[in-house]
Structure 1
Amino acid sequence: MTEFRGAWDEDDVEAFLQEATIPIRLATHRPDGSLWPVALWYRYRDGALECATGANAAVVRFLRREPAVGFDISTNDVPYRGIRGTGTAEIAPDEDKAILRALIERYLGDTDSPLATRLLDDDREEVRVRIEPREIYSWDYSKRMGREAGEKTV
């Protein structure tokens, strides 16, 4: 069960995660114990964060060894708002690249770009990274910073 703290309740967090098309910043541990941050596209579904990446990516090796993660999904423009938290990652095959295809459509709008074509190539093996949040802390500086300081919110 996820613990929610901060500026938003669970419904507000879910609304933000559904609306925001900014990458998740994921931190995991390398075998030497040092931290390894990576940015991935995500979608929020059934209380979890789902990402896709190449099966041979370093982050996949690291998560298989140590599934505990930290994460941040936050805006880069004023007014700053977002979430951060901790959780556990699970790796599984991305059958038929279903997660990847959904993420491409979410972030790029369709699968017609050269990037989408390269990512969806039959020779590329994809995995799903499913993050079960343990705790989520939210913040929203909209009132403090004023929306007029920057109309973009996501």
Structure 2
Amino acid sequence: MKVTGPWDRHRIDEFLEGARIPVRIGCRTPAGDPWIVSLWFAWDGTIHCATGANADLIGFLSHDDHVSFEISTNDPPYRGVRGRGTATVEPDIEKTQLRALFDRYLGGTDSDLGRRLLRPEREEIHIRIEPERLHTWDFTGRMPSSPTQ
């Protein structure tokens, strides 16, 4: 994997493992049009997401598995990781990935959203993105923090 920008791999891992912001995934529709979607993610050297089996994204990735992605802060100072890679999709029969994402983002599944997405009849898909290239940026040294931070 090629890494460019100010952060080394250790700093990338540190940022992505601690980030509780969505990943923005860019792909192409079968007609060749660009598409972007935001999903919760986990990082272990690859990006792991979950979505419903009937989501448009699953069909798009089945047609073309090449993706771009970005995980970045929404408040100054702006910093983050963007890149490209290859996505694979597989059924998540036990909703293991989805449960792990609920734990990561909300501290558990005890919510209306958790109950709705974990319904037994809902089919879930695990999306895994293998990065080919990562690029980082960090404007901390030249941009003040947001007054709300």
TM-score range, shorter chain: over 0.9
What is the alpha-carbon root mean square deviation over aligned residues? 1.1
Q: TM-score, normalised by structure 1?
A: 0.94
Note the 1:94-105 alignment, pairs <5 A.
94-105=92-103
> Which residue of 1 is the match for residue 38 of structure 2?
39
Structure 2 unaligned blocks of 5 or more: none
The one-letter code of the counterpart of 1:104 is F
Q: CA deviation at 1:144?
A: 0.7
> Which residue of 2 is the match for residue 57 of structure 1?
55
CA distance in 1, matches of 2:87, 2:148: 34
Fraction of identical pairs, as percent: 47
Note the 1:5-154 alignment, pairs <5 A.
5-45=4-44, 47-147=45-145, 149-150=146-147, 152=149
Q: TM-score, normalised by structure 2?
A: 0.97
Residues 1:101 and 1:56: Cα distance change in structure 2 (over 3 Å): same
The answer to whether the 8 A contact 1:25-1:73 is kept is yes
Write out the 4+ residue segments of structure 1 that deviate beyond 3 Å after TM superposition: 149-152
Q: CA deviation at 1:151?
A: 6.7
SS in 2 for 1:90: strand
SS in 1 for 2:94: helix
The answer to whether the 8 A contact 2:93-2:123 is kept is no
Name the structure with the higher helix share. 1
